[in-house]
Amino acid sequence: MQAKKRYLILFSAGACLILLLYFGGMQTPLSKSNNRRDDRSLDGHHGSPQWHHFSGSLQPFSPWDQMETEEYNVHISPRQKRDVISGVYNGKRCRMDSCFDFSLCKTNGFKVYVYPQQKGEKMSESYQNILSSIEASRFYTSDPGQACLFVLSLDTLDRDILSPQYVHNLRTKVQNLHLWNNGKNHLIFNLYSGTWPDYTEDLGFDFGQAMLAKASIGTENFRPNFDVSIPLFGKDHPSAGGERGYLKYNSIPPYRKYVLVFKGKRYLTGIGSDTRNALYHVHNSEDVVLLTTCKHGKDWQKHKDARCDLDNAEYDKHDYREMLHNSTFCLVPRGRRLGSFRFLEALQAACVPVILSNGWEMPFSEIIHWNTAAVIGDERLLLQIPSTVRSIHQDNILSLRQQTQFLWEAYFSSVERIVLTTLEIIHDRVLQQAARSNLMWNSLPGGLYSLPQYSSYLGDFPFHYAKLGIKPRPKFTAIIHAVTPLVSQSQPILKLLVAVAKSQHCVQVIILWNCDKPLPAKHRWPATAVPVLVIDGESKVMSSRFLPYDTIPTDAVLSLDEDTVLSTTEVDFAFTVWQSFPERIVGYPARSHFWDSNKERWGYTSKWTNDYSMVLTGAAIYHRYYHYLYTSYLPASLRGLVDQLSNCEDILMNFLVSAVTKLPPIKVTQKKQYKETMMVQTSRASRWADPDHFAQRQSCMNKFASWFGSMPLVHSNMRLDPVLFKDQVSILRKKYKDIERL
């Protein structure tokens, strides 16, 4: 009996349990019908009522006929409207549309005029550097009548009235400039504005409709697409070239000894003091090391607080550079002004900047996506900063760190870079629809090397194929540089022409006739499967071989000297290699540079060595964009030097391409006879036979290096050979067998 009851109870308990489960199971469908939780259950969150999806009788926000009933046509003419704009929106509301005269840039393009320096005007070294960068750039014009943009020779960098660099009476000096025109189309550089105690962004003179290129500019004062925010840089910032970033190799995982560091002044009172005064809350003296000192200014003892002595002692214990190089993140808090030197220091050191400067318009914000290279913090959330930076995934750290290096080298490493970037930003505004895209500015090799006049399409540049998921067109154009008259049918140029034209990838051969003798008759050129175009070089100068000819329809250019000996197989192989490295020079004869420490200058060698840093353009394939860059980016002085010497054009091209890519060229394997033929050819009037030739090349190297500000060439000790090259397999299995055959 007892057992029966027990079973009964057990059974009923079981029944209840089942009911319980059933009930629980019912819950979802029940709530589904009552609770409109259908969408939410997909999203995986629950428990909250939602906005009601009202159905039925709602009206559209804009009736069908409304747009047409707006009697737009009765309004004033758009032309008048545009004229009105410039009257209304000036001063703090200036924009390019209202305060800039585009018509000045129409006829001569984007030319920049620098006022002549007046005697007796003092000028800081930084401002001198700025002006000389402009004068050395391809934008410079000495004729104000051609100019689109004007730059003052009055030093406006330091507008802190307490500073010794402060230029007095700027207001009247500026008003007296006869080209001033209320500042229209003028660009004013400034690093410091305002003074103690409130550090306003006032420049102390009326700059009218001039644009500002200003450091520490606040978002409230910044006129978007009109002003340019520049970084704060010190007087010892290199004028050109500049140091490279400190990152030598990527370490994985990317963590360094410290997570976050800072070392700098602490302002006890006044503007900008809050954040730095609060840093000690986050300092943990282990991996978050934020050190401040009160010891600055004359009477710091007067204001010092209870923490000062302790802080000062800690501060002196640590070496700033050691911290900079061993930290993953570097704090960049505002100082008295919004920008601080810490920013560029961190950027160069590959220490990801953590910005704490509310309202700071980041340097070159118009073109740089700072989220990819820095952490933009909020001063109000200082206490969250450690957990924020710790939460950043190591993949992101790796990419942030690399981006700091790219940006540093592309836009910040020297005064010249900063100035050129500023000018290019304004240039882009003038170009309007033909301006660079975001991607050009924010990915290698950066905006200064991506000239938008060449094309605004990323796929026309050699750098972005992988990013866009496209490939260069599998064809090339050969350009043969002819300097000797055509006298015999056995001349190497004819053999070369036939061999190149036979390549399956060749679509056209251009013969650049840089010989003083008249063009040979058409029938003297051998018949080929591809069109042969003979261009009679107008100026007969060396640089003309790198002109961006419209008649080059392909991405790839095969550049050849007339005495080059190449087989079709060699050309084909070099071209397939180039397809994998479209941004580099791929070719045959290689040369090397070295630092001659006895003479303290760069040396050039053509010896067979274990490495190389140049591939001569007498037999090389590269992207046609480099023709454009050579002609438009390099200053006339360097191109003139090449033309005058009739030498070094290949060295200059190698300098240029390596400066852009930061990579060495690529040498591919060649038939061994090449070298011997080169040696034999001394009988002809080859420029290689000239004894001065070599010495000239030495001196070119040094001139180029000084213009680039550093040595861009990079060594390589790799040669690319066909996969089965000289392997012990049947020659019949080899695709490029001719390369091995002698």
In the bound state with other proteins, the residue whose beta carbon lies nearer, of 40 and 495, is 40
Q: Which residues contact 531 (CB under 8 A, 6 or more apart)?
A: 508, 509
Q: What's the min distance (Å) between Cβ of 32 and other proteins?
A: 12
Cβ-based nearer residue to other proteins, 60 or 691: 60
Mask: binding to other proteins, 265-304, rule CB under 8 A, as x and -? ----------------------------------------
Round to whole Å and give the CA distance between 643 and 242: 28
User: Of the two residues 266 and 671, which places its CB atom closer to other proteins in the complex?
Assistant: 671
Return the SS3 of 652.
helix
CA distance 205 to 85: 24
CA distance 482 to 314: 71
Site for other proteins in 563-622 (CB under 8 A): 573, 576-577, 580, 590, 608-612
534 binds other proteins (CB under 8 A): no
**Which one of residues 79, 168, 298, 317 is an interface residue with other proteins (CB under 8 A)?**
79
Both tokens of residue 155?
A: 């030093």
Rounded least distance, CB 119 to other proteins, Å: 42
* Least distance between other proteins and beta carbon 493 (Å): 27
Q: Per the structure block, which two tokens stand in for 116?
A: 């002549």
Binder among 3, 4, 29, 58 for other proteins (CB under 8 A) = 58
- Out of 250, 677, 682, 706, name the contact with other proteins by CB under 8 A: 250
User: What's the closest the beta carbon of residue 327 comes to other proteins, in angstroms?
Assistant: 17
User: Does residue 33 belong to the site contacting other proteins (CB under 8 A)?
Assistant: no
- Considering only 110-118, 281-289, 336-344, 400-408, which stretch makes contact with other proteins by CB under 8 A? 400-408
- Residues 706-735 contacting other proteins, CB under 8 A: 714, 716-723, 725-726, 735
Give the one residue of 375, 430, 479, 678 binding other proteins; rule: CB under 8 A: 375
Q: Are strands 619-623 and 556-561 parallel, antiparallel or unpaired?
A: antiparallel
Q: How far is the CB of 247 from other proteins (least distance, A)?
A: 7
Where in 163-192 is the site for other proteins (CB under 8 A)? Answer: none
Contact between 384 and other proteins per CB under 8 A: yes
* Residue closer to other proteins (CB basis): 127 or 226: 226
Window 194-233: residues binding other proteins (CB under 8 A): 219-220, 224-225
Residue 325 in contact with other proteins, rule: CB under 8 A: no
Among the listed residues 197, 253, 317, 391, the single contact to other proteins using CB under 8 A: 391
Please calculate the CA angle 692-696-698 and round it to the nearest 5 degrees: 125
Residue 87 sits in the site that holds other proteins (CB under 8 A)? no
- Residues 664 to 683 in contact with other proteins, rule: CB under 8 A: 667-669, 672
Among the listed residues 212, 222, 194, the one whose alpha carbon sits nearest the alpha carbon of residue 359: 222
Contact window for other proteins (CB under 8 A) among 160-168, 273-281, 299-307, 399-407: 399-407
Backbone angles phi, psi at 276, to 5 degrees: -65, -35
In sequence order, the β-bridge partners of residue 483 are none
Which of 171, 296, 303, 380 forms a contact with other proteins (CB under 8 A)? 380
The amino acid that residue 289 corresponds to is V
Which of 202, 395, 536, 690 is the binder for other proteins (CB under 8 A)? 395
Is the Cβ–Cβ distance between 345 and 366 less than 8 Å?
Answer: no
Query: Can you tell me whether residue 429 is helix, strand or coil?
Result: helix
Could you say which of 249, 518, 598, 679 contacts other proteins (CB under 8 A)? 249
3-class DSSP state for residue 65? coil
Q: Tokens 């018509």, residue?
A: 103
Q: Report, in Å, the least distance between residue 240 CB and other proteins.
A: 21
Under rule CB under 8 A, residue 527 binds other proteins? no
**Residue 57, exposed/middle/buried by CB under 10 A (0-12, 13-18, 19+)?**
exposed
The 3-class secondary structure across 526-548, one letter per residue, is CCCCCCEEEEECCCCCHHHHHCC
| Nearest to other proteins of 154, 362 (CB atom) | 362
Exactly one of 86, 89, 485, 699 binds other proteins (CB under 8 A); that residue is 89
Does residue 387 belong to the site contacting other proteins (CB under 8 A)? yes
- Pairs from 95-103 (Cβ < 8 Å, separation ≥ 24): 95/223, 95/224, 95/225, 95/226, 96/225, 96/226, 96/429, 99/184, 99/209, 99/211, 99/226, 100/184, 100/185, 100/209, 100/211, 100/226, 100/429, 101/184, 101/185, 102/430
For residue 626, state whether it binds other proteins (rule: CB under 8 A). no
Which tokens sit at 311? 């802080």
Footprint of other proteins on 340-359 (CB under 8 A): 358-359
Nearer to other proteins, 424 or 721 (CB): 721
> What stretch of H or E contains 287?
none
Is 326 within 8 Å of 257 (Cβ atoms)?
yes
Structure tokens at 600: 């303290």
Site membership for other proteins, residue 60 (CB under 8 A): yes
**Cα atoms in the 13 Å half-sphere on the side-chain side of 11:** 6
Residue 30 lies near other proteins (rule: CB under 8 A): yes
- Among 188-196, 255-263, 382-390, 648-656, the segment contacting other proteins (CB under 8 A): 382-390
Beta carbons within 8 Å of 483's beta carbon, 6+ residues apart = 514, 515, 562, 687
Evaluated on CA atoms 518, 521, 522, 527, the torsion sign reads: negative
What is the smallest separation between the CB atom of 565 and other proteins, expressed in angstroms? 17
CA distance linking residue 237 with residue 416, whole number of Å = 10
Please, what is the minimum distance in Å from the beta carbon of residue 444 to other proteins?
7
Name the segment binding other proteins (CB under 8 A); options: 93-101, 511-519, 528-536, 630-638.
Answer: 93-101
Which residues in the 643-662 window bind other proteins by CB under 8 A?
A: 661-662
- 390 is a site residue for other proteins (CB under 8 A): no
Residues in the chain: 742
Instruction: Tell me which residues in 455-494 interact with other proteins (CB under 8 A).
Output: 455-457, 459-460, 466-470
For 211-248, b/e burial (b = at least 16 CB within 10 A) is bbbbbbbbeebbbeebbbbbbbbeeebbbbbbeebbbe
Nearer Cβ to other proteins, position 68 or 538?
68
Q: Using the rule CB under 8 A, is 47 a contact of other proteins? A: yes
371 binds other proteins, rule: CB under 8 A: yes
Binders of other proteins in range 139-168 (CB under 8 A) = none
4, 39, 679, 691: which one binds other proteins (CB under 8 A):
39
Number of residues that bind other proteins (CB under 8 A): 141
For other proteins, the closer of residues 186 and 667 by Cβ is 667
Measured from the CB atom, is 22 or 306 closer to other proteins? 22
- Confirm or reject binding of residue 431 to other proteins (CB under 8 A): no
Q: Which of 7, 84, 91, 93 binds other proteins (CB under 8 A)?
A: 93
> Among 372, 484, 568, 710, which residue interacts with other proteins (rule: CB under 8 A)?
372
Phi and psi angles of residue 245, each rounded to the nearest 5 degrees, phi first: -65, 160
Distance CA 64, CA 179 (A): 53
Instruction: Write down the residue that tokens 């962004």 correspond to.
Output: 201
**Among 141, 239, 402, 617, which residue interacts with other proteins (rule: CB under 8 A)?**
402
Smallest separation (angstroms) from other proteins to the CB of 257: 16
2: three-class secondary structure by DSSP: helix
Consecutive H or E run containing 376? strand 375-376
Q: Which is nearer to other proteins, 4 or 168 (CB)?
A: 4
- Tokens encoding 356: 């704490």
Contacts of 153 (CB under 8 A, 6+ apart): 114, 115, 116, 117, 118, 121, 123, 131
Q: Do residues 479 and 514 touch, judged by C-beta distance below 8 A? A: no
Q: Let me know: does 98 contact 89? Beta carbons within 8 Å.
A: yes
Instruction: Give the closest residue to 428 by CA, choosing from 105, 163, 718.
Output: 105
67 near other proteins (CB under 8 A): yes
Beta strands in 624-699 (DSSP E): 666-668
40 binds other proteins (CB under 8 A): yes
Give the residue from 418, 367, 374 showing the smallest Cα distance to 233: 418
